[in-house]
Structure 1
Amino acid sequence: MAKRDKSGMQHQIDENLKRVYEEALVQELPDRFTQLLEQLRQKEEKK
């Protein structure tokens, strides 16, 4: 594979990873996770 092809492929991989990461950042936390975090906080407060 030519160096230019590898560079283009690496750039495409980088862009795809950035897009997936950015999409994950804007997703809302599921209710179940929120509930579990609240339960953990309550347990910590009781200690």
Structure 2
Amino acid sequence: MMNKDTKDVKSSSTRGFKGDASDAIGSQLKQYYKSVEQEPVPDHLLDLLEKLDQAERSGGSNGAA
């Protein structure tokens, strides 16, 4: 039979483990995001952005409301 104190110790140690895992995952995701941030934008996307800018400047409408 577990008393209240034993139960509290068990749940707090489990929370600590989950917190450590979350911290590790968060850290890895931040590192990955930073590496993706440093990658150059692909040329086809830059071309698309340029076309969109030109359409906005010319006041063109593509039928979208």
Deviation of residue 13 (structure 1)? 0.6
- Which structure dedicates a bigger proportion of its chain to helix? 1
After superposition, what is the alpha-carbon deviation per residue over 1:1-36, rounded to whole angstroms, capped at 9, x for unaligned?
722321211111111110111011101000000000
Gaps of 5+ in 2: 1-12, 60-65
The higher-RCO structure (CA 8 Å, 6+ apart) is 2
Identical-residue share of aligned pairs (%): 28
TM score, norm. by length of structure 1: 0.85
Aligned-residue Cα RMSD (Å) equals 1.4
Query: Counterpart in 2 of 1:43?
Result: 55
Select the structure of larger CA radius of gyration: 2
Moved over 6 A (4+): none
